[in-house]
Structure 1
């Protein structure tokens, strides 16, 4: 299984959409929410994604097609 860390930035139009649920349900991606800040008009989440490499690529492409900004993260996202 492949793993990747990403930061998702949501436009206001997608705040009410179950984006993370769809990644789990439709793409069979295991998700660990590392950090998040979601308000009524904007939001972001830092996620660890785990799944087959092709599935992760399709899931990220789906996010981008929906209008979610996806930025890869190379370092740890939890600061002690």
Structure 2
């Protein structure tokens, strides 16, 4: 997903587990009566969609921060530390 790094050997397993968890949460949300304070909370599977969106946002935000905050391997050698 936009990186030159090789994929982890269990990457497909991880995506499968996440997708399966999302499906289970959506199915469970159909039978649970959630208390809603706002209109958008009454959307079917709102909490599953919201949680998955937040999870995805955090992953991509961390990737962006890694590009911005990363240092060279010999960063501390150059500084003399």
| Bigger RCO (CA 8 Å, 6+ sep) | 1
Identify the structure with the greater strand proportion: 1
User: Do Structure 1 and Structure 2 share a fold, with TM-score over 0.5?
Assistant: no
Q: Return the index of the structure with the highest Cα Rg.
A: 2
Identify the structure with the greater helix proportion: 2
Taking structure 1 as the reference length, what is the TM-score of the superposition?
Answer: 0.31
